[in-house]
């Protein structure tokens, strides 16, 4: 998604859980596009990033304190710079990278709290994203592929053929659940978390090489992210 396109989209965000990551996504956007707009983030003049790290004067309209408070660190400018320089949160990238950008980004509690404040008619209901658990992802894929959950979370040693349900599950759990590699290694019963990153790497290559696999993965990801209506 291009920077100008991102600016024209309105999304209701669960600020406590997502705003810091959304801020990073926006500030990293000039270098995350297919053709980077600048070599260094600070050089993009249409961004507030330089003001966030105190390299330029802060406009009166720019409110930064709440985002700084989400980090809970005294060295707020340096801390934010370090945070933005790290890669984007995969869940946020998946949300904004979807073909159709939906109107609400939030967790379960946030979604429940806003139900009374949004349109109620059937043709105005919004599809929203919510964070999934690893159990959600595994159960969904087991149902989709008509297999047992055990076949997804048990990686068989020496197995040569591609276990796509397991590979999909690992990548979707990494993208949508917020669990780190060590936690996912426990879920998928592997001895070392490097096996998780290696599986994701293999699937990423397969997605690039095989359009059918890419379409199937996108379908599964979008279904898991956006099936909840409010």
pLDDT for the residue numbered 2: 41
- For residue 40, how many C-alpha atoms fall within 13 Å in the half-sphere facing its CB? 4
pLDDT for the residue numbered 35: 86
Model pLDDT for residues 42-63, shown as the tens digit of each residue: 889 899 999 999 999 988 899 8
User: What percentage of the chain carries pLDDT values higher than 90?
Assistant: 21
Token pair listed for 68: 């700084």
Overall pTM surpassing 0.75 (yes/no): no
Is residue 187 predicted with pLDDT exceeding 50?
A: yes
| Domains, the chain, with CATH or none | 8-128 (no CATH), 134-225 (1.10.1750.10)
CB 130 within 8 A of CB 109: no
CA–CA separation, 168 and 213 (whole Å): 10
Q: What is the mean pLDDT of the chain?
A: 80
CA–CA separation, 77 and 52 (whole Å): 7
Integer angstrom CA distances of residue 176 from 21, 129, 188, 230: 14, 10, 16, 20
Model pLDDT for residues 71-80, shown as the tens digit of each residue: 776 788 988 8
Token pair listed for 202: 């293999």
Interacting residues of 217 by C-beta distance below 8 A, sequence separation 6+: 168, 171, 203, 207
CA–CA separation, 191 and 19 (whole Å): 35
pLDDT for the residue numbered 226: 60
Model pLDDT for residues 86-134, shown as the tens digit of each residue: 778 777 887 787 766 677 887 777 777 777 666 554 544 555 556 688 9
């Amino acid at each position: 998604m291009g920077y100008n396109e991102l600016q024209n989209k309105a999304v209701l965000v669960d600020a406590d859980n997502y705003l810091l990551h959304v801020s990073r996504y926006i500030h990293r956007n000039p270098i995350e596009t297919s053709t980077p707009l600048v070599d260094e983030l600070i050089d993009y003049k249409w961004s507030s990033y330089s003001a966030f790290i105190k390299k330029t004067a802060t406009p009166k309209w720019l409110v930064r304190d709440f985002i700084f408070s989400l980090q809970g660190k005294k060295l707020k400018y340096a801390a934010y710079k370090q945070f933005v320089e790290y890669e984007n949160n995969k869940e946020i990238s998946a949300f904004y990278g979807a073909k159709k950008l939906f109107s609400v980004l939030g967790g379960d509690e946030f979604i429940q709290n806003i139900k009374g404040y949004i349109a109620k008619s059937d043709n105005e209901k919004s599809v929203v994203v919510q964070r999934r658990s690893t159990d959600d992802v595994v159960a969904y894929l087991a149902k989709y592929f008509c297999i047992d959950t055990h076949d997804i979370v048990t990686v068989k040693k020496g197995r040569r053929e591609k276990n796509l349900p397991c590979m999909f599950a690992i990548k979707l759990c990494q993208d949508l659940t917020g669990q780190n590699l060590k936690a996912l290694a426990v879920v998928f019963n592997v001895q070392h978390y490097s096996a998780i990153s290696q599986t994701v790497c293999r699937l990423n290559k397969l997605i690039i090489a095989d359009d059918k696999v890419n379409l199937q993965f996108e379908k599964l990801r979008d279904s898991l992210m956006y099936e909840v209506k409010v």
